[in-house]
Structure 1
Amino acid sequence: MTDIIYLRLRNRAQVKPNEKVILGHMAQVLAPEEIRNDLLNLPVYQVKEEDKNIVIIDVMKVIQFIQAKHPNLEVQTVGPPQTIIEVVYEKKHMSMPLFVFVWLLLFVGAALAIMNFHEDVSMPEVHQKLYTVLTGQEVAKPLLFQIPYSFGLGLGMILFFNHLFRKRINEEPSPLEVEMFNYQQDLDQYVIMNENKESMRHLDDN
């Protein structure tokens, strides 16, 4: 009697350098209890130094490993056809002087960008005209508008990015997080197409 198992590869899995990748790292498996643990611990790939930080494992290779050990199993796959194995190396601690330098660089750059934008759209003149329209007086520095506007600009940035330092304001993703997600999706697709040898066939392939 042939048993049927269901296999769903994860989009991405993280492992340590020189670690042995087992099926449980990279896939969800629905199988009879008597063979499920054996399948989850099935070795699929051994990470090597020349792999650097990305390895692509195709679902066809996984099926070959499964059927080599359990020839009577019928494998039904759902989900993505490849898994990206990310080799995570130990991160180096950032030095405090470097952190302060990068923080100042970003702060000054953001401040200059905002000031240049305000200069391009003549924001001071706009505030002066609004003050004149509402109060009937002409002043060079309408602080009644400029001070609330400055606080509102900072508050608007916090609400736009949906973060106050590391604290999320609500569960809705910010536009920056959405853009980072789309970038990661495009990057994963590029890596899969270029690093997976099974996804392309060249004229000089046997």
Structure 2
Amino acid sequence: MTDILYLRLKRNIEFSSMQEVRLKDIAYLTINSDKLQKSLGNMKIYQITQKDKEIVVIDSFLIIKYLTEMHPNLEIQLLGPEQTIIRIKKYKKSPSVLIVGFVWLLLFIGTAMTIMNFHYDVSMQEVQQKLHFLLTGEENEYPLWIQIPYSLGLGAGMLLFFNYFFKKKFNEEPSPLELEIYKYQQGIDNYVSYYENKLNNGNDPF
């Protein structure tokens, strides 16, 4: 009787250096035999060594080839991603407070200059002055009753747009920044998978 193994690889996973990678670590698997499922899950797939830098790509074809060699009567049904990208975590020093402060100050000044230049380009002050004249019939060079709420609303709008206040989120929806980071990470993963397959050129890493 042929056993059917349903296998779904995890897209991304993190490991420490010099760690043994087992099938259950990089994939979800299910089979009608609990004993065989446990045995397959504990099967060693890869050994992370010092030669591995930061990323290791495990291709599903190589896993299927390896499993069929060990279990000829096993039928494998692959679901989901075709590769697992292992990111190797290495010890990193905590960033310097001075460097973090300098970067924060640089971003703060750059953002402030961008906002001020935008308001200057669209003549925001003149618009607010004319709005004040239309509503009150009086001319005022600094209509603070408009400018102060506008400034507070600008800050609140940015918080709502990015959906973050320090580490707290207002709702479960991803922010535009998170979506851009996700797209960027997908691009990196696709490039890594393509480059790794091209580099290996069919060589078996097991």
Q: TM-score, normalised by structure 1?
A: 0.93
Q: What RMSD over aligned residues (CA atoms) do the two structures have, in Å?
A: 1.5
The answer (yes or no) to whether the contact 1:128–1:142 under 8 Å persists in 2 is yes
Tell me which moved more, 59-68 or 127-136.
59-68
Does residue 87 (structure 1) correspond to residue 88 (structure 2)? The answer is yes
- Aligned equivalent of 2:30: 30
The answer (yes or no) to whether the contact 1:58–1:198 under 8 Å persists in 2 is no
Q: Deviations over 1:72-124 (max 9, x none)?
A: 21111111111111111123211211111111111111111111111111111
- Aligned equivalent of 2:9: 9
- Aligned equivalent of 2:48: 47
What's the % identity of the aligned pairs? 50
- Aligned equivalent of 2:176: 175
CA spacing shift, 1:104–1:198, aligned 2, 3 Å? closer
Cα deviation for residue 181 of structure 1 reads 1.1
SS of equivalent residue, structure 1 residue 49: coil
The answer (yes or no) to whether the contact 1:8–1:80 under 8 Å persists in 2 is yes
Q: TM-score, normalised by structure 2?
A: 0.93
CA distance in 2, matches of 1:128, 1:199: 66
Query: Which AA in structure 2 matches 1:15?
Result: F
Query: Which AA in structure 2 matches 1:185?
Result: Q
Tell me which moved more, 41-50 or 26-35.
41-50
- Aligned equivalent of 1:140: 141
Structure 1, unaligned runs of 5 or more: 202-206
CA spacing shift, 1:10–1:38, aligned 2, 3 Å? same
SS of equivalent residue, structure 1 residue 76: strand
- Aligned equivalent of 2:197: 196
Structure 2, unaligned runs of 5 or more: none
- Aligned equivalent of 1:121: 122
Cα deviation for residue 49 of structure 1 reads 2.2
CA distance in 1, matches of 2:143, 2:129: 6
The answer (yes or no) to whether the contact 1:7–1:27 under 8 Å persists in 2 is yes
User: How many equivalent pairs are there?
Assistant: 201
- Aligned equivalent of 1:68: 69
Cα deviation for residue 199 of structure 1 reads 8.4
CA distance in 2, matches of 1:98, 1:149: 33
Tell me which moved more, 130-139 or 87-96.
87-96
CA distance in 2, matches of 1:46, 1:152: 54
Does residue 21 (structure 1) correspond to residue 21 (structure 2)? The answer is yes
Cα deviation for residue 178 of structure 1 reads 1.2
SS of equivalent residue, structure 1 residue 93: coil
